[in-house]
Homo-oligomer: A and B are copies of this chain.
Amino acid sequence: MKSFRKELVIHTPTRRAFVNITPEVEKCVRESGIKEGLCLVNAMNITSSVFINDDEPGLHMDFERWLEKLAPEKPYNQYAHNGYEDNADAHLKRTIMGREVVVAVTDGKLDFGTWEQIFYGEFDGKRDKRVLIKIIGE
């Protein structure tokens, strides 16, 4: 069994953003030399997400509005977590969008449907955050 590990560092200029990290993950699969296996991609911070969906700007606007409706950022004092922090909403938004994805590796490539793309979802940005890529297989 082979294994491969890499961290990505992501720093978004805004509090919230979606970043397509598929090319970086594909590069890791190539570097790993693994032909058949599983690829885990997860946020290492608890106010961000890794998820799979469509690379379509309209949909990303819909995600932003929808998440603000389900878990609004303000008023900050609606959340018990926001004593010294202001990011309780980011913990809730990340829960909806998910911490991680597991993707099959087949024949040395991410085994994807036509429109699947891997996104990093930032909900409390403006600072360095980390994503972990771990691949195991043969």
A contact set with B: CB distance below 8 Å: 1, 3, 5, 36-38, 40, 42-46, 51-54, 56-59, 61-63, 66, 70-71, 79-83, 88, 91-92, 94-104, 106, 111-116, 130, 132, 134, 136-138
Contacts and interface: CB of A to CB of B under 8 A. Distances in A.
Contacts of A3: 36-37, 137-138
Number of copies of chain A assembled together:
3
Given A95-B51, A95-B53, A111-B5, A81 B104 contact: no
7 contacts: A46-B115, A52-B99, A58-B83, A59-B91, A62-B80, A62-B88, A136-B137
A91 B62 contact: yes
